């Protein structure tokens, strides 16, 4: 490649001359309903650093041109000057004109002298070979069109084809037509789509992989050509939210009995809600993509009720596309939810591996044997933990809701008759005990998932929410909270629904789970007892409990009150929310 020997001093002068220094935060457009901001205004190159010999604005488009008679003989880049994002979604429409034309979108890259650039490139060309591939200047093709890959830290490439590259090439237009590129980067996962069609995806954990960097557009050397970009917008996922509340991370106290804030050691009691579904029995990650504003409003409502923790439930079928591949859109949405929680002063109790709805469970997941299923569950938690690791709003990871260990061989991962209103809240962690004790199985499963989380997040607390069998069977002892089994769990999480006239029995069962770790009642509701008895249970549990979590399904007290024809369930929920809001826990 031919290099232009402009001195660095001259280069700096050009940058200052052709970068609009008056660009301010106030001039940036507000985020749209999906969280995107526009970074090219269609009028001028405000907010960009560029070589004026190459780049200009024509007909509301950002244009790079290598004219007839004087084709440009080196690659040249225009840099977005307003940040170096790590996790983001970028959308841009592009058009290439001229035989042999070639360009690309740089992400997580670095500037080089003389308008050069180095790093990842989402490739595009007026030919069938490279469009939709992720390229890197020193590593070549990181992943090609039609392939999904995972690159290990030492460079081993585990790539599998998911589509025919030739067929995918029919999904984008050539010969001077517009296409839309969507480029996402979340953690180590990068995904390229063109016109809504997945082109390639890679989980790049290579030891040299950049975690953030500039965004730039390329003018490629070669024959006369014209490259055009418009409707350029970005949703930055790793920006610091404008928080109205400052959260401090949570740790276990030195005496191992309670939760305290990391910075000050202030004791914390949790008073919150399970945000598992809405009143239509839809799970949160079924609709949060299309109805994001509803989710945000619900978090506002939970904050206004005086809650400080929200337990969310993530479906394995929404977060994994295969045993080894994460769904990037779900991870992006989770990141956005974390930002919402941070800005509202709410902690997140992240429960995973949900298989509550049978239609949402992938066929490939149910056909896995125990080894494959546990490996897939570890993959789920690695991806989730990677997204959550840096946020003080994440209180804990709950490995699974109400896991079971059958004593004998069974054909199903979801126990027969285990559905409640069509949702399966319990699941088996094995179908083949093969002579192993329940304790051995439970410990191996816990330790494997804890190791997966700790590979990405050394800090946040880990638990598992269980059915308190001691409440239903006299003399029953904890399985998952046997001291040896729970060695690597940070606190106890149990679900209690006291029976009518049996509050004392419930309190006695609760004490069985006092094992020298903090204890949270992660589910409770007066479905089997009256309000007064539930209040007695809560008050009676104060000496051993550090958190109480009930339910909120997106309907406020006022909305229940305004219903002209409330059901018995509506009246019960309204009364309970009124009680829960006024009760609090200090």
Task: Count Cα neighbours of 192 within 13 Å in the Cβ-side half-sphere.
Answer: 30
For residue 71, what pLDDT is reported?
A: 65
Q: What are the backbone angles phi and psi of residue 537, rounded to the nearest 5°?
A: -65, -45
Which pLDDT belongs to residue 15?
32
Contact 478, 515 (CB under 8 A): yes
Q: Residue 273: in which H helix or E strand, if any? A: strand 270-275
**pLDDT reported for residue 175:** 73
Which regions in the chain score pLDDT beneath 70?
1-29, 69-72, 238-246, 586
pLDDT of residue 534: 96
Structure tokens at 83: 């940040």
Q: In this structure, how many other beta carbons lie within 10 angstroms of the beta carbon of residue 530? A: 12
Q: Helix or strand or coil: residue 89? A: strand
Contacts 24+ apart (CB under 8 A), 127-131: 127/100, 127/102, 127/174, 128/166, 128/169, 130/102, 131/169, 131/172, 131/194, 131/199
- Residues pairing with 157 in the sheet: 151
Task: Say if CB 152 and CB 128 are below 8 A apart.
Answer: no
pLDDT at 158: 84
How confident is the model at residue 462, as a pLDDT?
98
Query: CA dihedral in degrees (201, 203, 204, 205; nearest 10)?
Result: 180
Query: Tell me, what's the pLDDT at 8?
Result: 29
Report the residue count for the chain: 586
Q: What pLDDT, on the 0 to 100 scale, is given for residue 270?
A: 98
**Tokens matching residue 401:** 């809701």
Judge whether 534 and 523 are in contact, CB under 8 Å: no
Strands 267-268 and 259-261: antiparallel
What integer pLDDT is reported at residue 562 of this predicted model? 93
CA atoms within 13 A on the CB side of 141: 15
For residue 573, the model assigns a pLDDT of 95
């Amino acid at each position: 490649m031919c290099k232009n020997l402009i001195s660095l001093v001259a280069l700096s002068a050009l940058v200052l001359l052709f970068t609009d220094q008056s660009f301010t935060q106030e001039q940036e457009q507000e985020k749209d309903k999906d969280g995107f901001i526009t970074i090219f205004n269609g009028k001028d190159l405000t907010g960009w650093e560029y070589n004026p010999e190459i780049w200009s604005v024509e007909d509301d488009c950002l244009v790079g041109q290598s004219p007839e008679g004087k084709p440009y003989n080196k690659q040249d880049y225009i840099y977005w000057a307003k940040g170096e994002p790590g996790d983001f979604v970028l959308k841009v429409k592009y058009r290439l004109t001229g035989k042999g034309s070639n360009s690309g979108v740089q992400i997580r890259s670095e500037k080089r002298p003389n308008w050069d650039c180095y790093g990842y490139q989402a490739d595009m060309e007026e030919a069938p070979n490279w469009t939709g591939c992720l390229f890197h200047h020193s590593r070549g093709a990181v992943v090609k069109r039609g392939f999904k890959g995972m690159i290990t830290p030492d460079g081993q490439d585990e790539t599998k084809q998911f589509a025919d590259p030739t067929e995918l090439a029919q999904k984008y237009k050539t010969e001077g037509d517009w296409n839309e590129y969507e480029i996402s980067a979340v953690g180590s996962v990068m995904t390229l789509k063109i016109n809504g069609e997945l082109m390639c995806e890679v989980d790049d954990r290579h030891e040299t992989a950049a975690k953030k960097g500039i965004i730039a557009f390329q003018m490629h050397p070669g024959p006369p050509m014209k490259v055009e970009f418009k409707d350029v917008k970005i949703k930055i996922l790793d920006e610091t939210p404008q928080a109205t509340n400052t959260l401090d991370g949570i740790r276990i106290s030195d005496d191992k009995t309670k939760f305290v804030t990391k910075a000050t050691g202030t004791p914390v009691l949790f008073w919150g809600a399970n945000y598992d579904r809405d009143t239509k029995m839809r799970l949160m990650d079924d609709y949060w993509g299309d109805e994001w504003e509803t989710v945000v409003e619900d978090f506002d409502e939970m904050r206004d009720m005086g809650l400080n923790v929200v337990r969310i439930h993530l479906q394995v079928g929404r977060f994994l596309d295969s045993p080894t591949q994460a769904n990037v859109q779900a991870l992006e949405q989770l990141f956005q939810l974390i930002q919402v929680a941070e800005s509202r002063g709410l902690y997140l109790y992240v429960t995973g591996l949900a298989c509550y709805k049978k239609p949402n469970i992938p066929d490939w997941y149910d056909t896995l044997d125990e080894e494959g299923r546990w490996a897939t569950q570890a993959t789920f938690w690695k991806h989730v933990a990677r997204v959550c690791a840096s946020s003080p709003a994440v209180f804990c990871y709950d490995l699974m809701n109400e896991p079971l260990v059958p004593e004998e061989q069974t054909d199903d991962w979801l126990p027969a008759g285990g559905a409640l209103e069509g949702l399966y809240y319990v699941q088996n962690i094995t179908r083949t005990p093969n002579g192993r004790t329940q304790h051995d199985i439970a410990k191996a499963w816990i330790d494997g998932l804890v190791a997966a989380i700790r590979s990405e997040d050394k800090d946040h607390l880990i638990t598992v929410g269980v059915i308190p069998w001691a409440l239903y069977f006299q003399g029953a002892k904890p399985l998952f909270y046997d001291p040896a089994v729970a060695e690597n769990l940070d606190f106890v999480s149990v679900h209690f629904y006291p029976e009518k006239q049996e509050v004392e029995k419930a309190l006695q069962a609760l004490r069985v789970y006092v094992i020298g770790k903090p204890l949270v009642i992660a589910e409770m509701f007066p479905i089997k007892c009256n309000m007064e008895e539930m209040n007695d249970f809560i008050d009676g549990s104060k000496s051993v409990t550090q958190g109480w979590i009930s339910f909120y399904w997106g309907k406020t007290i006022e909305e229940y009150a305004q219903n002209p024809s409330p059901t018995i369930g509506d009246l019960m929920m309204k009364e309970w929310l009124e009680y829960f809001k006024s009760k609090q826990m200090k």
